[in-house]
């Protein structure tokens, strides 16, 4: 791996950069494998004992409670627990977002959070793990195909308090003073991920760095009005270039009068780039100094005020068919009386009643790709359950379940034919280690596999 000389030259005066060690780690070391466990779907695998070791060589990511380093990289595609949403494969350095949020935001409060550049979903699932159930996470992705991947990953996480939008950042300016927290993991030149993606070296250039810097300023400028006074902005990139990092920090402080917040790293071996003359405080992660990839992160408090978008409060709107619908859903959803729902294009979506008016406001201003949990369609007096319901945390314990072996689970996830002895007829949740994978309908002479075709395992290796 040959690091571009222009990048090396540009980093000579950057604090924490050590050229020889930086080049050596890229030439001789592979990227470490790390995952983050889903706290809502606990598993025994990859846990950490009191001695902080396991017989599988698993170790803790220091700045993320559920983060784990793995000694070897398994074939995640062939692990049913991955498809069940029991964990997310995420680069370790980027998990520092957890510590940044814990240090700058009161996570015990009910918050409205926007993850602006959210696909494929690593940071969104992390944020969602930290929020109260009454909080609402809006995860946005401007590219439609990537928004679909984002929605799939949040579906696997299983929670109700998420919305996926597919909008340009400027569309959020309509929601003035709306969000308590903005997370912007900005599109960047990608130099911090050269070890994970060596092909990115061929796309890197100083011109691309300049272009990304201009795009980052536009994105922040477009969405700034949506952050309320006193709200928190977390800005990050996977770039080493000052133009995309420290220069953006300085620009945010000068352009918007924001307060740059210091992140405490006393317990971690992370370089800090602190220049009081520029009122800049930020963190740089170098792969030769920490167990992770290149990463940059900074936090801000908004000091100027915005006119807040009005959200109508009150009880959920009811209609004449709600009682009939509720009795149908009661079979499928735990605690249905605590929730509400809305219907769109014959699909029913389960949501927190406290979020109903917020979601209606979002619908009137944005394109929503996903909201709450899609339960399915009603046919007569029955529900045709959706895949989202199968992976959710709200499925009734009375629903028929069928525990699969690993071999059976892989066959199910491939949509291959497989057999089940003494299977109960009708809809049944296919599970692996008690975690839902999806639906199957058991008929007298066959099994209809309802695992989504677009999610099936294609590989045979």
* pLDDT (tens digit per residue) in 79-135: 999 999 999 999 999 999 999 999 999 999 999 999 999 999 999 999 999 999 999
123 labelled binding-site residue: yes
85 labelled binding-site residue: no
Query: Does 260 lie in the same domain as 392?
Result: no
141 labelled binding-site residue: yes
Residue 72 token pair: 């070897």
Report the domain count for the chain.
3
Please state whether beta strands 382-385 and 373-379 pair in parallel, antiparallel, or not at all (unpaired): antiparallel
pLDDT band at 53 (very low <50, low <70, confident <90, very high): very low
Query: Does 204 lie in the same domain as 61?
Result: yes
Query: Does 325 lie in the same domain as 289?
Result: no
Query: Does 296 lie in the same domain as 212?
Result: yes
Q: Which CA distances in Å does 425 have to 257, 327, 389, 407?
A: 64, 22, 19, 22
CB-CB contact of 362 with 370 (8 Å): no
Residue with tokens 């003035």: 176
Active site residues: 238
Residue 187 token pair: 């599109």
382 labelled binding-site residue: no
Query: Does 20 lie in the same domain as 55?
Result: yes
Tell me what pLDDT residue 401 has. Answer: 95
First-to-final CA distance of the chain: 28
Query: Does 423 lie in the same domain as 373?
Result: no
**Spatial separation of the C-alpha atoms in residues 157 and 41, rounded to whole Å:** 8
CB-CB contact of 319 with 362 (8 Å): no
Question: Is 282 contained in some domain?
Answer: yes
Residue 297 token pair: 């992160």
**Spatial separation of the C-alpha atoms in residues 344 and 274, rounded to whole Å:** 50
Query: Does 285 lie in the same domain as 175?
Result: yes
This prediction has a pTM of 0.94
**Spatial separation of the C-alpha atoms in residues 84 and 19, rounded to whole Å:** 42
Query: Does 97 lie in the same domain as 73?
Result: yes
Question: Is 362 contained in some domain?
Answer: no
Which residues are registered as beta bridge partners of 113?
137, 181
3-class SS at 421? Answer: coil
71 labelled binding-site residue: no
121 labelled binding-site residue: yes
CB-CB contact of 288 with 22 (8 Å): yes
pLDDT band at 320 (very low <50, low <70, confident <90, very high): very low
Percentage of the chain exceeding pLDDT 90 = 82
Which residues are registered as beta bridge partners of 234?
183, 299
Give the domain extent around 185: 5-301
Tell me what pLDDT residue 396 has. Answer: 97
CATH of the domain at 277: 3.40.50.150
Average pLDDT estimate for 35-60: 80
328-367 pLDDT, tens per residue? 999 999 999 999 999 999 999 999 999 999 999 999 999 9
Instruction: Give which of 437, 440, 391, 390 is closest to 417, Cα–Cα.
Output: 440
Bigger pLDDT: 333 or 313?
333
**Spatial separation of the C-alpha atoms in residues 372 and 298, rounded to whole Å:** 30
Which of 394-431 are b and which e, b meaning 16 or more Cβ less than 10 Å from the residue's Cβ? bbeeebeebebeeebbbbbbbbeebeeeeeeeebbbbb
Query: Does 376 lie in the same domain as 248?
Result: no
Query: Does 262 lie in the same domain as 135?
Result: yes
Query: Does 372 lie in the same domain as 289?
Result: no
Question: Is 17 contained in some domain?
Answer: yes
Average pLDDT estimate for 273-284: 66
368-388 pLDDT, tens per residue? 999 999 999 999 999 999 999
């Amino acid at each position: 791996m040959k690091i571009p000389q222009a990048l090396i030259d540009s980093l000579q005066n950057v604090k924490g950069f050590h050229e020889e060690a930086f080049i050596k780690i890229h030439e001789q070391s592979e990227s470490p494998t790390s995952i983050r466990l889903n706290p809502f779907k606990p598993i025994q695998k990859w846990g950490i004992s009191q001695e902080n070791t396991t017989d599988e060589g698993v170790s803790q990511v220091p700045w993320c409670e559920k983060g784990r380093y793995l000694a070897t990289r398994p074939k995640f595609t062939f692990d049913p627990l991955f498809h069940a949403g029991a964990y997310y494969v995420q680069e370790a350095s980027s998990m520092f977002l957890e510590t940044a949020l814990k240090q700058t935001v009161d996570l015990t409060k009910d918050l409205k959070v926007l993850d602006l550049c959210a696909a494929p979903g690593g940071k969104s699932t992390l944020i969602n793990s930290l929020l109260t159930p009454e909080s609402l996470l809006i995860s946005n992705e401007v590219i439609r195909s990537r928004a679909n991947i984002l929605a799939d990953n949040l579906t696997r996480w299983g929670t109700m308090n998420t919305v996926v939008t597919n909008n340009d950042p400027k569309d959020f300016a309509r929601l003035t003073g709306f969000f308590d927290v903005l997370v912007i993991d900005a599109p960047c030149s990608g130099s911090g991920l050269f070890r994970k993606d060596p092909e990115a070296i061929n796309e890197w250039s100083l011109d691309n760095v300049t272009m990304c810097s201009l795009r980052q300023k536009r994105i922040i400028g477009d969405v700034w009005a949506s952050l309320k006074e006193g709200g928190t902005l977390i800005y990050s990139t996977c770039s080493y270039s000052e133009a995309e990092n420290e220069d953006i920090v300085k620009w945010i402080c000068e352009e918007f009068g924001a307060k740059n917040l210091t992140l405490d790293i006393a317990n971690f071996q992370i370089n800090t780039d602190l220049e009081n003359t520029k009122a800049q405080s930020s963190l740089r992660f170098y792969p030769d100094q920490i167990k992770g990839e290149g990463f940059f992160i900074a936090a801000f408090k908004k000091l100027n005020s915005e006119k807040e978008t009005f959200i109508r409060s009150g009880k959920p709107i009811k209609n004449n068919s709600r009682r009939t619908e509720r009795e149908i859903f009661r079979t499928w959803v735990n605690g249905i009386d605590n929730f509400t729902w809305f219907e769109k294009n014959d699909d029913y979506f389960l949501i927190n009643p406290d979020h109903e008016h917020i979601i209606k406001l979002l619908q009137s201003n944005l394109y929503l790709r996903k909201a709450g949990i899609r339960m399915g369609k009603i046919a007569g007096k029955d529900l045709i359950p959706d895949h989202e319901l199968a992976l959710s945390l709200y499925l009734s314990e009375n629903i028929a379940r069928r525990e699969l072996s690993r071999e059976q689970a892989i066959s199910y996830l491939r949509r291959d034919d497989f057999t089940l002895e003494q299977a109960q007829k009708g809809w049944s949740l296919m599970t692996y280690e008690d975690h839902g994978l999806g639906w199957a309908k058991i008929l007298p002479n066959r099994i209809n596999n309802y695992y989504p075709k677009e999610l099936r395992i294609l590989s045979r290796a």
